[in-house]
Amino acid sequence: MPANPKYLTQSKWQRFAKITAAILGGYFVSVTFHLVLAAWFNRPDVLMTMAFTGFILWVALMIVAFLAKSGWKIWGIYILISLLFSLLIYLGQTYNPAQ
């Protein structure tokens, strides 16, 4: 049974924004989250578990991107989260350099 067209995104730009936010934005958030953990905790252990949990988090963020009303809004949220995680990575490497 096909989806009801009234529930589908009509704008091609919104569809493009949701798809790119799901793939790229979700990946950026997933990787920066795990790099924050690696900067503050035991790096080899975090990077080893990232192979599994990173994929699970990426898929969850993909689902969230397609559930959002606006693709541009979810892009903004993913960029802000990635920037916040990047700041935490910088601080972790500054205060925890020898790990």
Residue-range domain boundaries for the chain: 13-95
Residue 56's pLDDT is what? 95
**Dist CA 31 CA 41 (whole Å):** 15
User: What is the value of pTM for the model shown?
Assistant: 0.85
Q: Count of CB atoms within 10 A of residue 21's CB? A: 28
DSSP code, position 4 = P
pLDDT at 73: 95
- The per-residue pLDDT for 2 is 74
Burial 33-63 (b: 16+ CB within 10 A, else e): bbbbbbbbeeeeebeeebeeebeebbeebbe
Q: 18, 67 in Cβ contact below 8 A?
A: no
Chunked mean pLDDT (size 10), the chain, 99 residues: 72 91 96 93 87 93 92 95 96 81
**pLDDT at site 99:** 58
